[in-house]
Structure 1
């Protein structure tokens, strides 16, 4: 008979306490600060003359919105889940375009001094244009709201991806390039075995900045283009003087942006670890 597989030893009491203390050190400070800020907000805004509702009033006025994010009454009268999903769909399309083009252009200007001298000044000028300044031009070009919003996302988020990828390419040690010449690596081999592993940290720094800019751009763009989306939801709530709904939507926007940033960061760490083990 085969021997039974060895069981993983359970952590002892001291190790368990250390683990609990580490987790508490990570979780408790932000919870304490959040409780403190909510308490100050509650005390400051309690009463009938405060310009903003207190947290307790926000929850009371928007409980139906919070408790049922999946309702769909047709048109733009949808719950927060559908509003955020519509915005995320646009972000996914625009960010994918910017990620692919940004990495390719970053590799180009990082590898070629001629391309860098020709394109970098143009990129430096275009990246300073505010996101909403692109919207009238995109509406004139596409004659439709959805592709215009996707274009605004892509053109807003592409610049940090280009620039960080180019920096990563230009920081590849010369020794690596010399080894590639000695081994006579082909272009694809050089890209996958040397260039990509060396630039993953830089590339994903650009992607993390880019996903944040994508989320910022879509919320701003949707305020103007209308339709289903968290940006238009906020603007519609403002026009209806529903301040509590605006606050709930802003919290949702912040949480989604935080999750997107962490997802891109986790993917970068995983890819970086995979390349580091090769």
Structure 2
């Protein structure tokens, strides 16, 4: 996806098939998950657990923990779950692996219709939750990468009246303006009352690519962002991060991470990039 964004001059633009899936599965309201970090985690958990008692127990434990510990708790829960491993093996399908031809889609439709109604509903629910989790998590990571704050943080700050956070949140995912009531009402009120001091900076953000400016190592920075989101970035050794890069197929030479020392330099560049973006929003 990041390679595609580079071709889109820094704009986040998903493929037509992703848009079609999001629309047909009725997942356009995924930005609602930004209102609470726990909602994003819960969407994934609900996708593969059908046991209501287990779900309620998980939610109680998750929401009782500080926000900074929730990702770690989710990761631990997933790693210990044999159900999750089975779910990944049986149900997870990469979009690029699907047959999107007319014949392929017709065949898939016939196979789907052969399933009992209960299984159809279960399958739809699984993919709705998984897709919503994926879209919300992705934009959350992008916000952390570009603005140094998660989208969940920006949305909550905006809803307490912080207009600067409002602009930054809408910059990362403009669907927020239609799907979160506070954002929709605030935007409509500003248009109705002609609040130029609000509309001018908002329109500037909406007209700017999410990856405005030169980010030299986007794929590497996204990896750093995901690890940071999970609170692993500072815990992993440089050698361990290099191992992850190799497993993901991130060319070391292309990203200038030939050695552990070089990786340390890229990590400092990443921190400087975040600091620069924070200062630009003050």
| TM-score, length-scaled by structure 1 | 0.28
**1 or 2, which has the higher helix percentage?**
1
| TM-score, length-scaled by structure 2 | 0.28
